[in-house]
Amino acid sequence: MFYLKNFPFASNSLLTCAMETEKEDEQKKNLYLCALQTKDFEKMRKRLVIFDLDGTLLNTIADLAQSTNQALQHLGYPTHPVEAYHVMVGNGIAKLLERALPAERRTPEEVQRMKALFVPHYDVHNADRSTPYPGIEKLLAELQEEGFLLAVASNKYQAATEKLVAHYFPNIRFAAVLGQRDGVPVKPDPQIVADIMSLTATSRREILYVGDSGVDMQTATRAQVDACGVCWGFRSREELASYQPALLVDKAEEIAAFLHQS
């Protein structure tokens, strides 16, 4: 179930007005609440929902593990079980490969050797076992039908991000699909959110950013947009809650419920 961190539309003047209405009769109080909802909820309505990809829209962990393990094996390093990759992903391919290497071999040169093996393999096998999380396809279709703008902001390199989004969500008209790009810092740097805002002509107040990790929550905070933490992904509820997002959800339909009342 979701929870709201705060209500930014409740300004000091509105709160003062609310206190005063407690002293008035029930009819005036109801009129005030009605005015609050029709005026300020409208101003705060979300227009754009930005989704992280891995761990949020798609469960990609098995394919990421497979491609990383083949690179490790090729170079003679120990491999890792799939479950171990949950804490390695989230900061881009280079950081994933660095974390997968033995501690004493985590040099820029060795990461580049790993990347040269990882990318060609992952380009071919990134949709072998990846799959959308339950309810995601329905959620995206529903939000699109209702007129919300949808976007993807990923730390996966751009080509793989575009391929996976097109493969798994062919009927969704995303306003922007951005991954890791040369010369652009990876999340939690907020540049990717700023780029999507520019492409969609939206303001910070109109955005909900949805992700499954602390990196995503930090990205939203630095971009000054509301965050939604999803508890079905690669990181724990406790990690997400520590960043005090606007809401936490256990099911995709809870995101739609929040957007409908915002």
Quickly state the pLDDT bin for 44 (edges 50, 70, 90): low
What's the number of domains the chain is made of? 2
Mean pLDDT of 111-139: 98
23: DSSP letter:
T
| Mean pLDDT within 70-77 | 98
Q: Is 225 in the same domain as 113?
A: no
Do both 110 and 215 map to the same domain? no
Written as six digits, the tokens of 261 are 């009342």
| pTM: predicted TM-score of the whole model, two decimal places | 0.83
pLDDT, tens digit (0-9, with 9 covering 90-100), for 83-108: 999 999 999 999 999 999 999 999 99
Lookup result for tokens 């996966």: 156
CA distances, 220 to each of 5, 53, 95, 154, 193 (Å) = 14, 15, 20, 13, 8
Asked whether residue 83 falls in the same domain as residue 54, the answer is no
Contact between 15 and 7 under an 8 Å Cβ cutoff? The reply is no
What would the DSSP string read from start to end of 88-135?
T-SS-HHHHHHHHS-GGG--HHHHHHHHHHHHHHHHHHTTSS-EEPTT
Which pLDDT band, with edges at 50, 70 and 90, does 261 fall under? confident
Residue 91 lies in a domain: yes
Question: CA–CA separation, 193 vs 197, rounded Å?
Answer: 6
- Nearest in space to 124 (alpha carbons), one of 165, 163, 175: 163
Residues 180 and 85 in one domain: no
Q: What is the pLDDT of residues 148-180, one digit of tens each?
A: 999 999 999 999 999 999 999 999 999 999 999
Mean pLDDT for the chain overall: 88
Burial 175-207 (b: 16+ CB within 10 A, else e): bbbbbbeeeeebbbebbbbebbbeebebeeebb
The token pair at 223 is 């971009």
Question: What token pair was written down for 218?
Answer: 């930090």
Are residues 162 and 50 both part of a single domain? yes
- pLDDT, one tens digit per residue, over 202-251 is 999 999 999 999 999 999 999 999 999 999 999 999 999 999 999 999 99
List all residues 6 or more positions away from 161 whose beta carbon is below 8 Å from its beta carbon.
Answer: 53, 152, 154, 177, 178, 179, 180
What CATH number did the domain enclosing 167 receive?
3.40.50.1000
Which is more confidently placed, 148 or 44? 148
For residue 114, being part of any structural domain is answered with: yes
Query: What's the CA angle centered on 60, arms 54 and 64, to 5 degrees?
Result: 105
Segments forming the whole domain that contains residue 75: 61-125
CATH code at 97? 1.10.150.240
| 142 in the same domain as 94 | no
176 in a domain, yes or no?
yes
